[in-house]
Amino acid sequence: MTTQAEVVELAGPRGGPLPAGSRAEGPRPAGRVTALWRRRRAVRLLVGRDLKVRYASSALGYVWSVLEPLLMAAMYWFVFTQVFHRSAGEEPYIVFLLAGLLPWTWFNSGVTDTAKALHSEAKLVRSTNVPREIWVLRVVASKGVEFLLSLPVLFLFVLIYRAPVSWQVLLLVPATLLMAVLLLGIGLLLAPLVVLVRDLERIVRIVLRLGFYASPVVFAVPDVPAPWAGLFALNPLSGIFELCRAGFFPGHVHWAHVGLSALVSAVVLLVGWAVFARLERTVLKEI
């Protein structure tokens, strides 16, 4: 398992020369991106550490990555197919559900963990001179790997229910990239704010609970009545989830929703990075 000493040795101890794009260079975007690229090995090391901790210390290991979305999918499938008459979603509904629940699980856990990324690793953040964005990026990456590891479960249900699979299954690639961009932007925005305003962490959890019902997880945007459909389409997760489902439900993608998701994700990343760079010095004094 990766130890703190290994991370510090790779990243450079406190008091050594500052990497390009860190505190010495302030908020210059080009410098910060370059600094992150130079420390890509540190990112891989931290992602590997997160995955080892998650899987090596658990008896069920990999099962935990898919157990929660599987149980949620089973519950919603039972409620909407056996208890109530369902008018939303597509058949087979279990595939429709999993294609939304798996990326939602990545988003939910990603936002939760990136929000506390700086606070939870305060000792390492203080003792290393790596670009501080790394602590957010490693959470997004490790949760992204867990999402990719959960996809075989989706394809298993596709085989069981003989759902059609088209070439649009390749759209899972841009869906993954868009989700990563969105999560990185949200994480960079929230991580420093949570350090300064601790109550924000609880607010994030509440907003995520509400966000589940405001996102097309158990339904699709076209299932929403006309007065509200446009509002749901503004959710950047709408286009991402449509890309995730496109390979199994042809014609499900609305490219206007995807374009809006890409635009919002890019804006969130730029805003998040600007806020992070602006508050970095203040945060380092607080943790």
For the chain, domain boundaries: 4-286
Q: Is the pTM of this model over 0.95?
A: no
> Scanning the structure block, which residue is given the tokens 């690793």?
121
pLDDT tens column, 243-257: 999 999 877 889 999
pLDDT tens column, 193-207: 999 998 899 999 999
pLDDT tens column, 28-37: 666 777 777 7
Nearest C-alpha neighbor of 2 from the set 40, 38, 56, 39:
56
Q: Is the pLDDT of residue 14 over 60?
A: no
Highest mean pLDDT (candidates 13-27, 54-68, 78-92, 128-142): 128-142
Q: Output the DSSP codes for 89-153.
A: S-SSHHHHHHHHHHHHHHHHHHHHHHHTHHHHTHHHHHHB-S-TTHHHHHHHHHHHHHHHHHHHH
pLDDT band per the 50, 70, 90 thresholds, residue 188: very high
